[in-house]
Amino acid sequence: MALVLAAPAFAGDGACPFALTPAAERDSLYRTLATNAQAFAPNATASTSKRRSVGKPTNPLTELPVANFIDTWIGAKQKKDGVLPTGPSKDEEFLRRAYLDLTGTIPTSAEVLAFIADTTPDKRAKKIDQLLASTAFNDRWTMWFGDLVQNVQVANNSREYYLGRNVYYSWIRDSISSGKPYDQMVREALSGAGLNFTTGTANYVVRQMQNNGPIQDTYDNLAAHSAEKFLGIPMLCISCHSGAGHLETVNWYLRGKTRTDFWKMAAFFAQTQSRGQRYTDPANPNANILQFTVSTNPAGAYRLNTTDGNKSPRAPNAGESDIVTPAFLTNGETPKSGEDHRVAYGRILTADRQFARAAVNYLWKEMFGLGLVEPVNAFDLTKLTTQPTHPELLEALTDEFIAKGYSLKSLLRTIATSNTYQLSSTYTPSAWNDAYVPYYVRHYPRRMMAEVVFDSMAIATNVPASFTVQGMSNVPMAMQMPDPLEGRRVTATTFINDFNRGDRDDTARSNDSSITQSLAMMNDQNVVTRIRRATANSTVSKVLASTTDPGTVTDQLYLATLSRKPTAQERQIAIDYLKAGTLNDRAEDLQFVLLNSLEFLFQ
């Protein structure tokens, strides 16, 4: 649903290349969230009579109780506009949600039972802290940052190769694991230099290189990418033409900016050079590989002297120089005397409040499926009091993020410990109204990301995978693969791709659902073989080895697959089914059905 800022071929003064306005994209996302929520956890007045027990809140609320300042601002708007929140999630629903959001995995049966049995009042906060300290957290948020910077071995216009991709991945994961501040990570990426096969951050530049057209196209890519990903500003809009007459319905702030303003941002990268040389990989001596050296050329300049490439011609205004001096878009700041221009750019960008504001919004969307500003990469800086659904909350979260040293874990903890985050998926105070979506009155289920679907299925069935990663050791989890192009050597690749993992290039990651996904869940051998009793150590085989009691079989398969016990009605239906045929075969059928339920695929 996000506004995709791929680099379109664009010349002349035609229409802006974006088909939808931000408001249209936002409204489409609202409709999708509302539809999914009602399909996944319908309320009592919905047309269907089926309801997931785990989604039904324990105690309906008259107003949102306050655990931290998030609830203060969310609750204030709910109360002001007379919209009631649903009740808190049950322990099982909260636990599965926290695992999936923070670590990209589902809890094991033992972890579910231990959490349910825990009677301490702060057990949710303790569990959140445990998840934040886990290695699975590092994997999940390495994937997130890798998506953000588009770390991939091969793209349409650039090649990091697997050696550059791997070292970049290792730098990202080490940074996440060590708790490196987010602003420091971004500064290091923006200023990365050296051999891209040994220095991970050098690949930020390599990834955005344009291998056709003039060098200015690469400078433009670096400016547009960094503005979108780290400021949430779709600056590509003004890379080909000034905003006036084009962007009135897209972004009022950028409507007031010119192509010259964009060139000044791109000029920060004009002293950057990247030179390729042939490289022989001892592990793959026949491969045709280029290694790049990223460095600074003090004589480099952004010149307005092009007539070809991916952008309309670059030429100065009458009487002006054809050399552009760097100046930051939002405040006009320039490099200090003697300061490396990319270092200056990283310093200015991460000191800008919009940097922290955009990061907060990205993280909020990862946890809620909905940004306070939508699309998350389409901030309009003239509308900061009206574009966000909760302007005061966005600013409070920004203050918190800055005060806590740009700590990803700290901000995620604040979000996860809020009562807003811990609401049930089922809405019970009244009939559901789609207009309630921006009020955060319920949890909005969305389909698991592609890698999480596979890993959760492997955990539920207790049959792990092994993914071959070129240039690295095999990994057992899809979430541990360094980019979406890996896994090509295993049969799981097609299955994972069916769930829209994207390519970190011109195909965006998506959690949209499709018939193809349903067919994969019903027919793919990665699912079918894992539910078999004959498959060594599978959940079904272990359960049947421990008991032949249909009720116990039912309980254990529900716990392993859906992270909860069955309701009385579900349990009786399952028992009747298991008794009506061969237990071994029907136990396989039961887990198959659970894996194919909305409750398994949606979090």
pLDDT band of 2, cuts 50, 70, 90: very low
DSSP conformation letters of 387-456 = SSSSHHHHHHHHHHHHHTTS-HHHHHHHHHTSTTTTB-SS--SSS--GGGGGGT-S----BPPHHHHHHH
Please give the Cα distance from 591 to 577 (Å, whole number): 12
Cα separation of 554 and 540, whole Å? 10
Can you tell me the mean pLDDT for 240-256? 93
The region of weakest confidence among 92-101, 268-277, 283-292 is 283-292
* Pairwise CA distance, residues 221 & 7, whole Å: 8
Chain-wide mean pLDDT for the chain?
93
Percent pLDDT > 70 in the chain is 94
| Residue-level pLDDT at 5 | 30
Q: Residue 283, SS3?
A: coil
pLDDT surpassing 50 at residue 497: yes
Q: Among 517, 512, 458, which Cα is nearest to 490's?
A: 458
Nearest partner of 63 among 88, 44, 100, judged by Cα = 88
Type of residue at 513: S
pLDDT at position 32, please?
93
CA distance 242 to 21: 17
What does the pLDDT read at residue 212?
86
C-alpha–C-alpha distance, residues 350 and 365, integer Å: 20
Are 479 and 169 in contact by the 8 Å Cβ rule? The answer is no
| pLDDT score of 18 | 52
Write down the pLDDT at residue 423: 97
- Is the previous residue joined to 181 through a cis bond, with omega within 30 degrees of 0? no
pLDDT for 6: 31
pLDDT of residue 44: 55
For 6, residues 6+ apart whose C-beta sits below 8 A from its C-beta are 505, 506
Rounded to an integer, the average pLDDT of 180-197 is 98
State the pLDDT at residue 489.
64
4 pLDDT more than 60: no
Please tell me the predicted confidence (pLDDT) of residue 60: 66
Q: What is the mean pLDDT of residues 518-526?
A: 95
Mean pLDDT (whole number) for 128-153: 98
| 152-181 residue pLDDT tens | 999 999 999 999 999 999 999 999 999 999
Q: What are phi and psi of 278, to 5 degrees?
A: -60, 140
- pLDDT for the residue 43: 72
Q: How many CB atoms lie within 10 A of CB 569?
A: 9
Q: How far apart are CA 236 and CA 220, in angstroms?
A: 8
Q: What is the pLDDT averaged over residues 51-75? A: 80
Strands 323-324 and 302-303: antiparallel
Q: What percent of the chain has pLDDT over 90?
A: 87
| pLDDT value of position 61 | 81
